[in-house]
Amino acid sequence: MAFYRYHVFFCTNQRDDGSQCCSLSGAGPARDFLKARTKALGLAGPGGIRVNVAGCLGRCAEGPVAVVYPEGVWYTYVDREDLEQILQDHLIGGRPVERLRLPD
């Protein structure tokens, strides 16, 4: 078994020139929300879910973005409801959320 069942990386890159980046789209608060939710539900930690920040993931035009491993499922999201659906359907239920999924 992997150390974490799921590892979620949120791009929180901020570009100094003001061009499109995940940070401008609220990626930091989104990551904080999902991290807090996994902790509140007792899902965080070894054998469970790890939520991390990442530098630029190279998909700024599609942002904000997050990627879930081990499957390598890429997501975009708009609000906490989208993040909650990713949590409930994918991270708890094991079913990727197709409406939020980005192409590989």
DSSP state, 72? T
The predicted pLDDT at position 75 comes to: 98
Q: What is the pLDDT of residue 3?
A: 92
Q: What is the mean pLDDT of the chain?
A: 92
Say which CATH topology domain 6-100 has.
Glutaredoxin (3.40.30)
Decide if pLDDT at 1 tops 70.
no
* 64 close to 25: Cβ distance less than 8 angstroms: yes
* Proportion of the chain above pLDDT 90, given as a percent: 72
Task: Decide if 55 contacts 11 (C-beta within 8 A).
Answer: yes
Cis, bond preceding 46 (omega within 30 deg of 0): no
**Looking at the DSSP assignment, which residues form a beta bridge with residue 74?**
67
Least confident of 25-34, 35-44, 85-94: 25-34
pTM: 0.93
Domain edges within the chain: 6-100
